[in-house]
A and B are shown apart, each in its own frame.
Chain A
Amino acid sequence: MTEHALEIRGLAKTFGENVAVDHVDLIVPRGSFYGLVGQNGAGKTTTLSMAVGLLRPDAGTARIFGSDVWADPATAKQLVGVLPDGMAMPERLTGREVLTYLGLLRGMSKEVVAERAEELLSVLELDAAEKTLVIEYSTGMRKKIGLATALLHAPKLLVLDEPFEAVDPVSAATIKMILRGFVAGGGSIVLSSHVMALVEQLCDHVGVIDKGRVAAAGPLDEVRGVATLEDRFVELVGAGTVTTKGLSWL
């Protein structure tokens, strides 16, 4: 078995006149911690949504451990845990209820679900908010419950869209620890971010997306060369003309 954790071939998506993703190819090797970086609107979220079956591509394929996400969704979706950015949850449930019902929907037994939910809630420090409905969660708590739903069914690949956005430093440290442990245990992770330092700190592979295309991809050291990832990124996306104009009234 030499399948890649995630293999994206020629994914493309156009919204009206706007080409959001322009035939993207990406390979996430087994066991890698892959960072996807790009400016706002570069097409990261669109690419990841198409890769996990949340958005229908105009062209191209996505395979998770060899299973085609669009031809064989049942197998592919069993293997992947997803944390999308900014999507709703079943808002009128408590964290524990969300995890329990999702586990049952995944066909897990009641006992296993209860055990894992307990552990996830305590590790992610959500157990203090036992009676709080998800709709009342803070942004950081929402990320954490989202991560918990992604981890619940023991996936082999995690696809996380901006997992650290609006998360406080303490929670971020917890999440980082969990993610590192996941990779150490043989799992693979793809995460998107526009915080270069974070990607450099966590990831061993990186892909740079710019205007819907892959500008560079591969092992972190190959992509950044001798520079920092940030310098390399600015060079790649051609934003070298960072404005030096101040605001006149300040």
Chain B
Amino acid sequence: MAVAMTMARMKIAILRHSMSGQQGGMMASAGVLGVLLAGGTIFLAFLDGDWLTAGYAVWMLGWIIGPVFSGGGDETLRPEFFSPLGMRPQRMAAGLLVAAFVGLAPAISLLALAGLVVAGAREGVAGALVAVPAMVLQLAVFVLLSKVTVALLGLALGSRAGAIGAGLINGVILAFLGQIWVFMAAFGQGGQIPAFVRYLPSGWGLLAVQGDYVALAAMAVLIVLLLAAWAALLARRAGTNRPSTRGRRPMRATTANGAVVAKELRTWTRDLVRSHQLAFALSYGVFFAVTPLLVGIPGMVPLAGPIFIMMAAAMTSNAYGADGTAHWLTLMTPGASDVRGRQLAWLVAVSPIALGLAVVCTAAVNGPWALVMSATFALLGGGVGLVALISVVGLVPGIDPRNRGGNPLRTSDDDGSATGMAYLMLFLVALTAAPAVAVAVWFGWWGVPAGLVTGALCWWGFGLLAERRLAADGPDLLHVMRTGRRPGGEKSSSSFTMPDSLSKTQRMIVMVCLSLGAIPLIPQGILGAVFVANGQLGHSWFLATHVQPALRYPVAIAFMLLGAGMYALGGWLWLRARKADEQAGKKAAEKTEADGLRAGAAAG
């Protein structure tokens, strides 16, 4: 136990150091959101039916999927730190598990699991008492499932087939999560949650509380098994991933731009992280589009191609950051255009799949051809332009590929910013298609030339901006990648009202929160509630009108809270940065004053 306690103490020390500054702010806002979600889950315990089980199934899914999408999850204490100590894997896994209980996510999950106490109390005193060990065991199951998934994924990413397979599976799961309304609507129409959900490991705590004490033992056994599996996986993690090294294609490039394209295309096919990204985007696009077929809605099938493009752009939004300090070579060879070459390579990698998907999926349901093709061309151009621009402007320093270590999904130490950037990219790329889509809606096939024109403009224009930025700020970008820090406060910001102390990514988060917060707040939240109140059920995409009676208001309220939360987060980040700016200004003024006094004293 000594090992475990030491590791937990290490983790607390690291967390304490990171509580201040920007990261502390992010943690605070994540905490508020988490507490809201946990509160919502506890509320489910007061309902009849299997809602609480379903809620916990979602939490479990979150634990499994979260790390996959946010770059490998909590790596505050890495197994590599302890490998020189020669500990037995079992002991190290147990220690890391205890340390994994320390943190925000486990605390919030434990709060959500307090729903078990409520459910237990409804059964009687015994139920409430059993709920306490059940909560702890259930949390251990969540944490361990998460750890084992990440470890398995790391292993899978060691081979090409594994990387692609993992990408496909992750895409499917996330697409299902994104389309969760389909499942909610499907179950809502059926009036109940399928029975198997009760018997998922996420439901065992509830079973125990309801008197099925075998479930407690089952959780204990599962924990032991998962711990053993994790220990075994940790022991295998020591080495770095092996890239594929078979057959080399002959080199045909003869020009400078050809060289950039060839370099990039080889990286596309050899870097398993990139294989994973493309596979993910592909399966996300397809499954997002076809899931509504489950409730008999074929209308989204033709969206597979456009969604794939958006996801591919989001996944590659940190292209320069992911390559790390290799940027020095570009700096030392002025004259060739790295940006244009990269753009071309991106198009070569993405557009065949995108066009194929768009044609096949639209043909499958004989969908709106003009609309889909307009969006596809506009998005391809928007994506190829914005990937270049955003990856230069919003660069999140990556980990040099050779230092990625045992968790190849983790390409940046600042995965919060990297994830934020991916979401921002989704939104911005979608915006670039708006003109063409609008034209297609009103004038049909005229949308296609409109898409081609806006796409070409984005490609050319954003690429040009990226190129200029790279030429002007190249050395500064390299410095950021080398040290992880921006050259501090040399320039006063050119942005109009954004405070200087906001990082670029934070600025984008603020912009997205403030511009998109309206969607959950007003249509899905307030209007949804209005429709429910008026008894207008089954109303197009207002989720609250599709679900079970007991959940209608909670869903609308959850959306309102989400929207309000987005506004709160955006506003709070902005205000805090403003305050930091003022203080910095005050300090600078004080310093000048003190210098003046000193100078005066010296003169006197």
Q: Which residues of A contact B (CB under 8 A)?
A: 15-16, 52-56, 73-74, 77, 82, 84, 86-94, 96-97, 100-102, 104-107, 110, 130-133, 135-136, 149
Contacts and interface: CB of A to CB of B under 8 A. Distances in A.
B333 A77 contact: yes
Contacts of A55: 475, 478-479
Given A54-B328, A86-B325, A101-B263, 13 more contacts: A54-B475, A56-B475, A74-B334, A82-B332, A97-B263, A101-B260, A102-B329, A102-B333, A105-B259, A105-B333, A105-B335, A135-B243, A136-B245
B404 to A, nearest CB: 10
Contact of B334 (A73, A93, A101): A73
Interface string B246-290: 001001011110111011001100110000000000000000000
Nearest to B244: A133
Contacts of B324: 88
B323 interface: yes
B263 A90 contact: yes
Contacts of A15: 483, 485, 488
A86 B329 CA distance: 13
Contact of A88 (B242, B254, B326, B487): B326
Contact of B245 (A73, A106, A132): A132
Nearest to B269: A92
B335 to A, nearest CB: 6
A106 B485 CA distance: 30
A149 B266 CA distance: 19
Interface in B330-360: 331-336
B326 A91 contact: yes
Contact of B332 (A54, A88, A107, A131): A54
Interface string B383-418: 000000000000000001110000000000000000
A146 B325 CA distance: 13
Contacts of B593: none
B478 to A, nearest CB: 6
Contact of A105 (B336, B476, B482, B487): B336
Nearest to A75: B334
A77 B487 contact: no
30 contacts: A15-B483, A15-B485, A54-B475, A55-B479, A73-B334, A77-B333, A77-B334, A82-B328, A86-B325, A87-B482, A88-B323, A88-B326, A89-B329, A90-B323, A91-B326, A91-B400, A93-B266, A96-B251, A100-B251, A101-B262, A104-B259, A105-B259, A105-B336, A106-B335, A106-B336, A107-B335, A133-B243, A135-B402, A136-B242, A136-B245
Contact of B271 (A92, A96, A104, A105): A92
Q: Which of A77, A84, A104, A107 has the most CB of B within 10 A?
A: A104
Contacts of B483: 15
Contacts of B242: 136
Contacts of A130: 248
B401 A74 contact: no
Contacts of B326: 87-91
Nearest to B329: A102
A147 B103 CA distance: 46
B243 A92 contact: yes
Interface in B468-495: 475-476, 478-479, 482-483, 485, 487-488
Contacts of A107: 256, 335-336
Given A55-B478, A56-B475, A105-B256, A133 B400 contact: no
Contacts of B266: 92-93, 97
B251 A97 contact: yes
Nearest to B336: A105
Nearest to A82: B332
Given A91-B401, A97-B263, A74 B335 contact: yes
Nearest to B242: A136
Contact of A54 (B270, B323, B478, B488): B478
Contact of B259 (A84, A91, A100, A132): A100
Contacts of B256: 104-107
A70 B487 CA distance: 18
A84 B331 CA distance: 12
A56 B476 contact: yes
A133 B245 contact: yes
Contacts of A136: 242-243, 245
Nearest to A91: B401
Nearest to B241: A135
Contacts of B488: 15-16
Q: Which of A86, A90, A100, A132 has the most CB of B within 10 A?
A: A90
A90 B478 contact: no
Contacts of B267: 90, 92-93
Contacts of A90: 263, 267, 323, 326, 329
Q: Which of A73, A105, A106 has the most CB of B within 10 A?
A: A105
Contacts of A56: 475-476, 479, 487
Interface in B112-150: none
B333 A106 contact: yes
Contacts of A82: 328, 332
Contacts of B243: 92, 133, 135-136
A53 B336 contact: no
- What are the 7 A-B residue pairs with the smallest beta carbon separation, nearest first? A104-B259, A101-B259, A92-B270, A88-B326, A87-B325, A105-B336, A88-B400
A73 B475 CA distance: 12
A110 B254 contact: yes
Interface string B16-52: 0000000000000000000000000000000000000
Contacts of A53: 331-332, 475
B332 A135 contact: no
A90 B329 CA distance: 9
A110 B400 CA distance: 30
Nearest to B323: A88
A140 to B, nearest CB: 14
Contacts of A104: 253-256, 258-259
A105 B260 contact: yes
Nearest to A153: B333
Nearest to B489: A16
B475 A135 contact: no
A149 B329 contact: yes
Nearest to B251: A100
Nearest to A81: B332
B49 to A, nearest CB: 52
B303 to A, nearest CB: 33
A42 B325 CA distance: 22
A104 B259 CA distance: 6
A52 B334 CA distance: 12
Nearest to B264: A90
A52 B332 contact: yes
A154 to B, nearest CB: 14
B253 A101 contact: yes
A84 B328 contact: yes
A39 to B, nearest CB: 20
A93 B260 CA distance: 12
B34 to A, nearest CB: 34
B245 A131 contact: yes
Given A90-B267, A92-B266, A107-B256, A77 B323 contact: no
Contacts of A135: 243, 401-402
A8 B234 CA distance: 51
B473 to A, nearest CB: 9
Contacts of A131: 245, 248
